[in-house]
Amino acid sequence: MKPVTKAILPVAGLGTRFLPATKAIPKEMLPIIDKPLLQYAVEEALEIGIKEIIFITSHAKKAIKRHFLQNTDLEDSLVKNGKEDFIESINPKRFKDIKFTFVDQDEQKGLGHAISLAEPFLDKDDEAVAILLPDDLFIANGKSCLQTLYDLYKETSNSVIAINEVAENKLSNYGVIDASKISRSTFQIHGIIEKPKLKDAPSNMAVCGRYILSRSIFKSLNNIEPGAGGELQLTDAIKDLLVSEKVIASSYKGQKFDCGSKQGFVEATIFLALANKDINKDILKSIQELIN
């Protein structure tokens, strides 16, 4: 089996839930403490040995490209001002041999459409790709979410997607699976539905934004019609894939924040602030003062 070396990160969405902040700044560039949200997902991808990150972006999001390309002017200024220590933070060693590819999605026709635009950038012999939705921020206590999926992919050669249990009143925001148990944390998927009404939800297990998908997903993406919200949905392509291939779900037990929502974004900020040794004592004190 060929290692998975390419990861697709769709970041062309409009980020309407964060307007007006996202009028000029891409949602994915909003910082959680001192790092753009998007960088957390990039780092998670690199941990499994990804060599090329394919961003599906839009012409309005130039800041994303600027963030991942080298900025020699800034580096020179840092050196001149005796602030070399910051160079690693703007040009990390782990990015050195990574190819960053930027593909414009001209019209926001949905996540499925965004992913389909990456196909021409795959090598002929790529058997599978990783997909990470940067809105979903995972803080691993041990193995990362994507690494867990990749280990299962290497073991089974099947497509693997991450799921977690979601409260009933939130199920209609997600793709929801119909599945049977394989082990304590893995399931075989039999069906999948995007943003179901509560009465149609086949379970309380919702897809969260990490996937290792077989290359056949691109064929399935060609087979689908606009679905929920009038958009081309990745979930519908996975449903199509299920006709010919096995897809496994892996439930993720670590911390997960939906940073596409205001609540999740603030919770992630608080969680990471309390985990940061430089600031956590003062932050905790401030929070305690605020609630008392």
- Per CB under 6 A, residues contacting ligand UTP are 10-17, 27, 56, 105, 108-111, 113-114, 133-135, 260
The residue nearest ligand UTP at its CB is 13
Question: Measured from the CB of residue 241, what is the shortest distance to ligand UTP in angstroms?
Answer: 18
Nearest to ligand UTP of 52, 194 (CB atom): 194
Question: Measured from the CB of residue 180, what is the shortest distance to ligand UTP in angstroms?
Answer: 28
Nearest to ligand UTP of 227, 260 (CB atom): 260
Question: Measured from the CB of residue 94, what is the shortest distance to ligand UTP in angstroms?
Answer: 22
Question: Measured from the CB of residue 107, what is the shortest distance to ligand UTP in angstroms?
Answer: 8
Nearest to ligand UTP of 10, 227 (CB atom): 10
Nearest to ligand UTP of 202, 226 (CB atom): 226
Question: Measured from the CB of residue 144, what is the shortest distance to ligand UTP in angstroms?
Answer: 18
Nearest to ligand UTP of 122, 232 (CB atom): 232
Question: Measured from the CB of residue 141, what is the shortest distance to ligand UTP in angstroms?
Answer: 24
Nearest to ligand UTP of 28, 186 (CB atom): 28
Q: How far is CA 62 from CA 17, 90, 115, 159, 206, in A?
A: 20, 17, 19, 32, 32
